[in-house]
Amino acid sequence: MKKLFLIAVVGASLALTSCSRKISMMTKNSVAFPGMTVTRTDYKLSKDVSAEVEVKEWSTLLGRLKGAKAIGENKRELRQGDVSGYGLDVAEKIAAYRLLDANPTFDYLTNIRITREYSKKWLLFLTKYNTKVKIVAKGITLNTEK
């Protein structure tokens, strides 16, 4: 009887606390061009563009449980941009998404520089971070008109 009651309590708590999250991803992966050469007239290189984001992060249980939320965004939406070849953390992925979202004509990113500034607050078993990330990069747009 105790096991049945325990299973019912655990099931009810999981059902009441479950939530859905909308995840938007933008990615600029590399494409292999076998046997193809590219000259300077085949692409346009932009000037430096940047994006900034402030993210509140938390972790507990020695980093096994983590969470992040960008300030000014919906709590249930996670918007991340992925750039292959770079090991970006959560705050940097959110900044990359904002950079790519503001510049939809970019096919690739290059010369990526990331600056971050954070403060850390420790509360018994919970660690909170307030992170400010700025990503600066150049965009490459391929000329497809030939």
Structure tokens at 105: 């004509």
* pLDDT above 90 as % of the chain: 3
Whole-model pTM above 0.85?
no
pLDDT for position 118 = 82
pLDDT for position 136 = 92
* Cβ(93)–Cβ(81) below 8 Å: yes
pLDDT for position 33 = 52
Q: Assign 22 a pLDDT band (cuts: 50, 70, 90).
A: low
